[in-house]
Each structure stands twice: as C-alpha cells, then as structure tokens.
Amino acid sequence: MIEKRFHSDLYDGNAVDAAVRVYEGFGTFELEKTPEAFIVRIRANSGIDERRLADELANYALGTTIESRNVAGGHS
C-alpha cells in the first residue's frame, strides 16, 4: 500500500476526488481528510505497478488543481 498526502493549501479537494474516480478501475483507494491534507491510501490491483498508479494519480490531481485555478482566475 502507498499513502499519498496532498496538502490542502496546494491541492483542490475536488481535484483529488476526480483523480481517484479516474483511476478507481486500477486499484482500491481509501480517502481521509485531515485539517491540513487530503490523504489517499492506494492499493493497486494485481498486475498494476502500485508506485506508478500513485504517481499518475498525484499528477492528475495536480494538473486538475492548476486547471481549476486558471479557469477561476484564482490568485492567492
């Protein structure tokens, strides 16, 4: 199992949820929300590279976060 931590100041929660939905066919995911971060625990299905699945999920969450900020014209 791999645990990925997405700081809530840097990642959009909806983007993390979207990433989990996109990759849910490749493994099982457990989500936890703490005051500081969204935590995703990833277990890949057999035949799937767990490390790669976790990295792809993280990239998707980051890309969606950036795109949603650009659409909203957000600055902080």
Partner 1 sequence: MSEPIEITFDEALYPKDAIYGAAYVLIDRCYVHLDRASENRITVKLQPKPGVTITAEQAIGEFQNEALGQAWRRQILEENRALIEMISSRALGGAAGPPGLDDLLALETSEDTAFDDPLGIAMSWEEKYKKKKPEETTPEDGKEEP
Footprint on this chain of partner 1 (rule: CB under 8 A): 4-5, 7, 9-11, 52, 55-56, 58-59, 62-63, 65-66, 69, 75-76
Question: Quick one: 42 or 58, whose CB is closer to partner 1?
Answer: 58
Please state the closest distance from residue 6 (CB atom) to partner 1, in A.
8
> Could you please report the per-residue DSSP string of 19-75?
HHHHHGGGEEEEEEE-SSEEEEEEEEPTTS-HHHHHHHHHHHHHHHHHHHHHHHT--
Q: Are 27 and 48 in contact (CB under 8 A)?
A: yes
Please state the closest distance from residue 4 (CB atom) to partner 1, in A.
8
Please state the closest distance from residue 43 (CB atom) to partner 1, in A.
19
